[in-house]
Amino acid sequence: MVGRNPGEPHRSATSLELFFDLCFVVAVAQASMSLHEAFAEGEHGSGALRFALVFFTIWWAWMNFTWFASAYDPDDVTYRLTVLVQITGSLILAAGVRRAFEDGDLHIITLGYVVLRSALAALWLRAALSDAARRRTALRFAAGVTICQLGWLGLLLVPAPARLPGIVVMIVAELSVPVWAESAGRTPWHPHHIAERYELFTLIVLGESVAAATVAVRGAFERHQGTGSLYALAAGGLLMAYAMWWLYFARPAHTLLATTHQARRRRFPWAYGHYLIFASATAEGAGLAAYADHVTRHTGSSPAAAGAAVTVPAAVFLITVWLVHLRPHQRSLAERVPFPLAAVGVLAAAWSPAPALVAGVLLAGLVVVVTVPRHPPVARERKQYAQAAE
């Protein structure tokens, strides 16, 4: 298991990686469903906190394997079997999401997480044996991952009131492992491959958001209540999904991850910032579903709280995509100002009679602002090229 060439041409996601992502959808769906139920019961603060902690385990396990596979992927039998063990761990983790949400029972979700991460630690040990040039880095990864798993298991023995501070400590420890390990030497990950893997997972969470909202709106329509509000919710939800997709894919990510000194400094903020992108996209579906319940069932949530469940995830997605994904491409103030202004407008839409529709129109307007100015220069370049050809 020697390191792969980071400049390898035509590097793309493998069928095993796509299968890995597909199985992670189960955990993402469970987290979205649990957040929807928490919102519907009026538990916005506690539900968002539980979702943030649970989604961290999903995202972190996915992200760590993604970067490892970009650097080391021999695609042999041993490697495939180890990845299938990680997939099994993701399914165990998914099975424990609801219990973690409802009862604070972390046993099943911790078991799944430990299975996932222990298999990854074994892969890092295998890389250390094979890649002498990066042995120190691989051993740091293996040691850091293993110690963190012991910490998560030990956390199960801590009394419930003291568990939250312990979880925060463990999250900080997990986030520190890659920084510490790569300070000993950079792993040979592939910029195009990493960008594609993140793009594919973005599509997954956006798709899950649309699916969750569709199921909720369909159920609301079957109850024949609040039809006008539901039409506005459905239209706004679609506009937001389309705009979120458009904005994320407005610029290529691999150019930010190229092997320049500046790009190396960006890789951790870019990679870690995607936690908020993935989590907010997933939470958007839960918020739309909860608002549909509010319209038809008149849940305990106030109109503003129900609207915030829709607009806050959209605003977080917008600001994070701008900061980590689009802002490095922007050179002028005129390019940057529309994004925070749109985010403020989206947040304020929570107090409107149709928060999803207003937020969707604002995001669609931002897409127009981002896209239209790019056309005249292209037209001028084509005209100049034609004149030169003549």
Contact present, 364 and 243 (Cβ < 8 Å): yes
Q: What is the pLDDT of residue 259?
A: 54
Q: Which fold has domain 203-379?
A: I/LWEQ domain (1.20.1410)
DSSP secondary structure string for all residues of 193-254: HHHHHHHHHHHHHHHHHHHHHHHHHHHHHHTT--HHHHHHHHHHHHHHHHHHHHHHTTS-SG
Is the alpha carbon torsion for 282, 146, 108, 166 positive or negative? negative
pLDDT along the chain (390 residues), means of 10: 86 92 91 89 88 93 95 93 95 91 87 94 95 94 96 90 89 95 91 92 88 72 68 87 92 72 72 94 91 76 87 95 85 83 94 92 92 56 48
The structure tokens listed for 10 are: 């035509």
Q: What is the pLDDT of residue 316?
A: 96
- On the CB side of 83, CA atoms within 13 Å amount to 25
Number of helices followed by number of strands (H, E) in the chain: 14, 0
Cα distances (Å, whole numbers) of residue 335 to 163, 188, 190, 319, 331: 44, 34, 29, 14, 7
DSSP secondary structure string for all residues of 251-269: S-SGGGSSSSHHHHHHHHH
- In angstroms, rounded to a whole number, what is the distance separating the alpha carbons of residues 154 and 160? 13
Which residues, in sequence order, are CB contacts of 382 under 8 Å at separation 6+? none
- Alpha helices by DSSP H, listed for 298-354, are 303-321, 333-336, 338-348
Q: What is the pLDDT of residue 129?
A: 94
The one-letter amino acid at 357: L
Angle, in degrees to the nearest 10, between helices 135-155 and 107-130:
170
Q: Which residues in the chain are classed under CATH 1.20.1410? A: 203-379
Q: What is the pLDDT of residue 41?
A: 84
- In angstroms, rounded to a whole number, what is the distance separating the alpha carbons of residues 31 and 108? 14
